[in-house]
């Protein structure tokens, strides 16, 4: 079986592309002959149009993008999806550095089952804890979120509130029900000063801390991975800051995670 055969689910492919559901040759043949050239995806976490856009030389060579990625691209640290940063995944999972494995394929096969995250702003353990039905189904939480979860208003992270985000920015952006608010924030929102949660002021954080050092990084990711360790605050309003009493109860965990993340994860996720 080829990688693409293992990757592509006929049922999912035809559900995403009902206009070709009657193709007599099957999903794999349709994708191989026509689908990838038309920008259709073989998997929720592989975006062929985006991959070709990011790698124009692959497009110029006329190579099917997932085949290129699975045979060569991952070794060159190319990303198959805008929500996957291979360097970040390997940094978070140093045990994989000497394993000579495709980090994306690793995530799909075993990583998510081990609670590893594909993105700094997606918390798989919290998502499964908060959504017992997804946990019971035994499916990859990020794939579930991208296919189903966001449509149902589920949150990918304790510090992203999709309902609040929609209400807050609906007048400024086209946040119709067909738009995933989390992806909007990651691709557009943070760049334009939108905040992911009422207790994290992205524009204030950017102006207060990041502009001075000209650091082009998403503010919440910076806070969660570096900022809180340096004593940076998530917002200017004292009443919205992390509660010291709650953080103190975190014990050793308080040394490894941002205080506001700990508080909201416990309060919302029931941990």
The answer to whether residue 197 sits within a structural domain is yes
The answer to whether residue 104 sits within a structural domain is no
The answer to whether residue 109 sits within a structural domain is no
Confidence (pLDDT) at 92: 92
CA distance 70 to 50: 15
Instruction: Please name the residues in contact with 68: beta carbons below 8 A apart, sequence gap of 6 or more.
Output: 51, 55, 58
Lowest mean pLDDT among 7-11, 65-69, 105-109, 157-161: 7-11
User: What pTM does this model have?
Assistant: 0.84
What's the whole-number mean pLDDT along residues 214-240? Answer: 90
Q: How far is CA 177 from CA 102, 131, 167, 259, in A?
A: 34, 21, 12, 32
What's the whole-number mean pLDDT along residues 128-150? Answer: 94
CA distance 81 to 186: 13
The pair of three-digit structure tokens given for residue 244, joined into one six-digit string: 């010291």
Lowest mean pLDDT among 156-165, 173-182, 218-227: 173-182
Structural domain count, the chain: 2
Whether pLDDT at 253 is above 50: no
- Same domain membership, residue 168 and residue 78: no
The answer to whether residue 70 sits within a structural domain is yes
- List phi, psi (to 5°) of 108: -65, -35
Confidence (pLDDT) at 213: 77
Confidence (pLDDT) at 252: 35
The answer to whether residue 36 sits within a structural domain is yes
Lowest mean pLDDT among 5-14, 53-62, 102-111: 5-14
- Same domain membership, residue 167 and residue 256: yes
Question: Are 51 and 69 a contacting pair, CB within 8 Å?
Answer: yes
Whether pLDDT at 53 is above 60: yes
What's the whole-number mean pLDDT along residues 44-64? Answer: 92
The answer to whether residue 138 sits within a structural domain is no
Whether pLDDT at 57 is above 70: yes
Q: Which of these, 183, 205, 41, lies nearest to 122 by C-alpha position?
A: 183
SS3 of residue 46 by DSSP: strand
Q: Which of 52, 83, 114 is the last residue of a domain?
A: 83
- Same domain membership, residue 163 and residue 257: yes
The pLDDT mean for the chain works out to 89
The answer to whether residue 28 sits within a structural domain is yes
Confidence (pLDDT) at 267: 61
CA distance 53 to 49: 6
CA distance 126 to 10: 30
Instruction: Please name the residues in contact with 5: beta carbons below 8 A apart, sequence gap of 6 or more.
Output: 28
Whether pLDDT at 156 is above 90: yes
Whether pLDDT at 270 is above 80: no
Maximum mean pLDDT: which of 172-176, 224-228, 251-255:
224-228
Confidence (pLDDT) at 247: 47
Range of 183's domain? 159-269
What's the whole-number mean pLDDT along residues 57-63? Answer: 91
Q: Which of 83, 101, 122 is the last residue of a domain?
A: 83
Confidence (pLDDT) at 250: 46
The answer to whether residue 222 sits within a structural domain is yes
Whether pLDDT at 257 is above 70: yes
For the purposes of burial, counting CB atoms within 10 Å of the CB of 107, is it exposed (0-12), middle (13-18) or buried (19 or more)? buried
**If you search the block for the tokens 């940063």, which residue do you land on?**
85
What's the whole-number mean pLDDT along residues 78-92? Answer: 92
pLDDT in tens, 166-186: 999 988 998 888 899 999 999
User: Which segments of 121-218 are extended strands (E)?
Assistant: none
- Same domain membership, residue 170 and residue 79: no
Please state, for a pLDDT cut of 90, what percent of the chain lies above it.
70
**If you search the block for the tokens 């089952």, which residue do you land on?**
113
- Same domain membership, residue 264 and residue 168: yes
CA distance 56 to 39: 14
CA distance 115 to 238: 33
CA distance 74 to 231: 36
CA distance 4 to 40: 13
Beta bridge partners of 43: 46
Q: Which of 83, 110, 136 is the last residue of a domain?
A: 83
What's the whole-number mean pLDDT along residues 7-22? Answer: 90
């Amino acid at each position: 079986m080829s990688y693409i055969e293992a990757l592509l689910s006929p049922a999912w492919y035809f559900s995403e592309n009902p206009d070709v559901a009657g193709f007599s040759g099957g999903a794999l043949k349709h994708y191989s002959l026509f689908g990838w050239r038309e920008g259709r995806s073989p998997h929720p976490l592989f975006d062929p149009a985006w991959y070709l856009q990011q790698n124009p030389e692959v497009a110029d060579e006329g190579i099917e993008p997932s085949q290129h990625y699975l045979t060569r691209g991952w070794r060159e640290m190319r990303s198959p999806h805008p929500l996957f940063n291979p360097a970040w995944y390997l940094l978070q999972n140093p045990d994989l550095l000497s394993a000579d494995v495709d980090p994306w394929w690793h995530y799909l096969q075993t990583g998510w089952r081990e609670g590893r995250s594909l993105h700094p702003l997606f918390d798989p353990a919290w998502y499964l804890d908060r959504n017992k039905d997804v946990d019971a189904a035994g499916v990859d939480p990020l794939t579930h979120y991208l296919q189903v979860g966001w449509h149902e208003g589920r949150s990918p992270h304790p510090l992203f509130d999709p309902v609040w985000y929609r209400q807050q920015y609906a007048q400024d952006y086209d946040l119709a029900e067909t738009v995933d608010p989390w992806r909007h924030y990651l691709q557009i929102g943070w760049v334009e000063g939108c905040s992911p949660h009422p207790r994290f002021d992205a524009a204030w954080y950017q102006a207060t801390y990041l502009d001075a050092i000209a650091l082009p990084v998403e503010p919440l990711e910076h806070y969660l991975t570096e900022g809180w360790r340096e004593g940076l605050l998530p917002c200017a309003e004292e009443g919205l800051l992390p509660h010291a009493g709650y953080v103190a109860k975190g014990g050793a965990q308080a040394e490894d995670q941002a205080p506001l993340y700990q508080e909201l994860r416990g309060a919302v996720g029931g941990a």
